[in-house]
Amino acid sequence: MTALQAEWTKLRSVRSTTWALLAALASTLVIGGVSASTSHPDVVPNEDVVMIVLAGVYLAQVAAVAFGVIAICSEYSSGTIRTTFAANPRRRQVVIAKAAIVGALMLAISAVAAVAAFSLGVAVLHGNGFTSSSGYHGLSLSDSDALREVGVAAVYPVLIALLSLGVATIVRSTALAISAVLGVLFVPFIVAPLFPENVANTIVYASPMAGMAAQEQGAPGDPLTGIAVTVAWAVGAMLVALWLIARRDA
Amino acid sequence: MEQAIEVVGLTKRYGATVAVDDLSFTARPGRVTGFVGPNGAGKSTTMRVILGLDAPDAGGTLVNGRHYGKLGAPLREIGALLDAGALHPGRRAHDHLLWLAQSNGLPRGRIDEVLALVGLSDVAQRRTGGFSLGMAQRLGIAAALLGDPPVLMFDEPVNGLDPEGVRWIRGFLRGLAAEGRAVLVSSHLMNELQGTADHLVVIGRGRLIADTSVAELLRAASGDGVTVRTPDPGAAMALLAAAGASVTTNGHDALEIRGMSADRVAGLMAGRGLRLDELTPHRASLEEAYMELTRDAVQYAARAS
């Protein structure tokens, strides 16, 4: 409990974490709004309309990476990590508390962002002629696909922030951690099209972005498997981080 | 009696480099223990091991008789300042102390108390990025005092401070020891500890060179001597050397005489009709005693490398 309080104070008392969270919120809303307003039924027929309004999550995850990395690397770059571990020698407890606070804050922001982007986007789409009477479904949260996609848009940035926190704890450098996570997120999407379709799908659905990519209706991946892959990446990074943190000199 | 800080047979390597080599010493309540050695002697490494930050390769350390990792609320047992610059520049001084207090379940009211104690109450809401080194140093000391611990440890606390800051810290350390706390303070300059430390632990190249009281160290030093200035140093040198003193010249007209009292020097020179422009007896300084003590370690180091 004391560790949670301390980590909460640390995160809320610096501006960089606030900016990262605001960036995540803004990207989800702005990209979602722009994406909805530029979509018309004759241009994108029979598309998954929910993904049109949640398109901003792909950019928001970059802010989630920054948030997860800053949460611990600001301690390594300033040297306060030694103060932290001297004040609480149970290092795993410290990192778990950090993960809990990072996860809770990210969830609060991305849940608000996802629901707001959906409501805003759907209103815009309605005006552009995407209506249930013209054959489009998923324009309400009572639709099970829409609910799943909005739910994942809230949870996915949390997993990416935890993946980033884990990688950052392992490499202990802001620049290295951000490049590593962005690399593992985006490189598969860039190289996949160079391969035959079945190989390309394997590459994409094994990457941490699988959780988001598999949600799109009509996508080749299974939504549940997709999100499980992202969970595996986040949990894997955190486990390695927890294993290392107790063994290394601070 | 239980020791506040106990270092027993501590060895710490970084790759092929031996930073600390079978080091043992203790820091006791009620006194300031100076931890002295040249830069790179292993002082900071030893302090990091004491705080459980670096793991020893052999031996170990105890704080109030317990392993650091077993302390429930470490800030109530030992307060430490290793690196005054270790602050997030965007965080306010008060918030820095707040998270520390929360991590050990310390009362919030203590934050304003320690800020007042080090004279930082007015800048509590300022971000530490704008702090001078002296202010950062004071904030670090406030953090160390947060848990009102019986043991305090400071790594080079006067490094880079202005004379006013140096004087303040010295008085502060004496005050903490007078309250019955154990204070371990490191420095690479012995004269920084003159008048502050009661006891000295001297290390070089990771090894213990001396573990002694300041008074004993000064007594053991053969440094008492006399400085003489005369228009004819050559004649004076021959005269005093023939009478059994050890005489060296500093290159100008001054001679350093050891092993002979000032009045005997004056008597001999008057008997020969040599004019004295200056006759200054002086006691060995702590720094000289330290240089004498570490000379062997330095020679050993030169041979080894």
Q: Can you give the residue range of the structural domain that contains A66?
A: 2-245
pLDDT-based confidence at residue B223 (cuts at 50, 70, 90): low
Examine the pLDDT at A7 and tell me if it is beyond 70.
yes
Query: Which chain A residues have a beta carbon less than 8 Å from that of B80?
Result: 86
Mean pLDDT of B113-134: 95
Query: Computed over its alpha carbons, how large is the radius of gyration of chain B?
Result: 24
Q: How many domains does chain A have?
A: 1
| CA-angle at A20, arms to A15 and A26, nearest 5° | 120
- CB B268 within 8 Å of CB B257: no
- CB B78 within 8 Å of CB B153: yes
The per-residue b/e assignment along B54-63, b for 16 or more CB within 10 angstroms, e otherwise, is bebeebbbbb
* Structural domain contains residue A185: yes
* Structural domain contains residue A142: yes
A79 vs B55, B68, B83: nearest CB: B83
Mean pLDDT of B48-76: 96
Is B55–A249 a contact, with Cβ atoms under 8 angstroms apart? Answer: yes
Go through chain B and tell me how many residues it has: 305
Query: Which chain A residues have a beta carbon less than 8 Å from that of B90?
Result: 14-16
* Inter-chain CB pairs, A–B, below 8 Å: 83
- Going along chain B from its start, the domains and CATH numbers come out as 5-213 (3.40.50.300), 224-282 (3.30.70)
pTM across the whole model? 0.87
- CB B8 within 8 Å of CB B61: yes
Rounded to the nearest 5 percent, the helix, strand and coil shares of chain A are: 80, 0, 20
Q: Dump pLDDT digits (tens) for A199-247.
A: 999 999 999 999 998 988 878 889 999 999 999 999 999 999 999 999 9
- CB A89 within 8 Å of CB B52: yes
B74 vs A75, A89, A249: nearest CB: A89
The alpha-carbon gap from A154 to the nearest alpha carbon of chain B, in Å, equals 29
| CA-angle at B200, arms to B195 and B203, nearest 5° | 130
Is A79–B85 a contact, with Cβ atoms under 8 angstroms apart? Answer: yes
Is B53–A10 a contact, with Cβ atoms under 8 angstroms apart? Answer: no
* Structural domain contains residue A250: no
* Structural domain contains residue A38: yes
Mean pLDDT of A9-29: 96
Residue A46 has what pLDDT?
Answer: 61
- CB A165 within 8 Å of CB A99: yes
